[in-house]
Amino acid sequence: MAAAATSTARPEPWRRRLYVPNYQVREAARYAGVPSQTVLNWQKAGLKQTIASREMREALSYMQLIEVAVVAKMRKAGVRPPEIRATREYVSKKLRSEYPFAEYRFKTDGKKLFMDYEQVEGKKGRGKLLRPGQNGQLAWEEVIGRLLEFEYEHKGIAIRWHVAGRGSSVLIDPRVSFGAPMVRGTPTWAIRGRWEAGETIDEIADDFGLTENEVRDALTFEGIDYSTPLSKWTH
């Protein structure tokens, strides 16, 4: 019984990897769909003030990557930087969160950011939202146009990112493939490597136990035009 209790108390290995620098700035920028310099600018502006700029040029952790991705989604939705900064500052202080954009769900109407009332106060309030950028002002569910595309499954952490959009099978999940972009456990870089080695889509799919559409999703994410004849790789 004691052994079982000890085993249960140990943190899961993937949780330790959440804070390990593992993504190059160029990679993070590509995944988020923004220039590399933008990632660096956001970091300097306060996404993670305790990390030296030299370290940020080298690599980001999973938590930092998700913060960058969430901010990118917010900006693309039309939310302006002052609203993003005010929201992050409020949630960081109120909930003592080092990575609030990776640890809590946010909603937007294209201008303002909101959180479910329950996330902040721990109380249920049907249809109620908080606007963190206005010091927790209450709002109503009806004002919200859409959710940001991240799945929060483990104690609030954004545990699954549909990095290529909801229509693609490519995901980033820190529990799988060490957080590399993947399709059902197979890293997209591995699928690209097989394609560049001359294998066909159906051969790759059969070998990895994937559907042909999943292979195509991976190749598209990796920037491969799979309609181009394989013979091009021999030149």
Assigned domain for 5 exists: no
Higher-pLDDT residue of 45 and 93 is 93
Largest CA distance in the chain: 63
In a domain, 7, yes or no: no
Residue 148 sits in the same domain as residue 214: no
Q: Which of 116, 136, 161 is the last residue of a domain?
A: 161
Instruction: Note whether residue 8 is domain-resident.
Output: no
Greater model confidence, 218 or 111: 218
Number of domains in the chain: 2
Residues 6+ apart with CB under 8 A from 114: 106, 107, 108, 129, 130, 131, 132, 139, 143, 144
Measured CA to CA, the distance from residue 77 to residue 165 in angstroms comes to: 14
* Contact assessment for residue 183 and residue 214, using Cβ atoms and an 8 Å cutoff: yes
Using the 3D structure, point to which of 127, 161, 195 is the last residue of a domain.
161
What is the tens place of the pLDDT at every residue in 34-62?
A: 999 999 888 776 554 444 444 445 789 99
What's residue 64's pLDDT? 93
Where a domain ends, among 139, 161, 183? 161
Is residue 155 domain-shared with residue 196, that is, in the same domain? no
User: Of 124 and 137, which is predicted with more confidence?
Assistant: 137
The pTM score is 0.82
Could you read off the pLDDT of 184-221 as tens digits, one per residue?
A: 999 999 999 999 999 999 999 999 999 999 999 999 99
Task: For residue range 144-156, list pLDDT tens digits in order.
Answer: 545 557 888 766 7
Would you say residue 4 lies in a domain? no
Based on the domain organization, do 138 and 59 belong to the same domain? yes
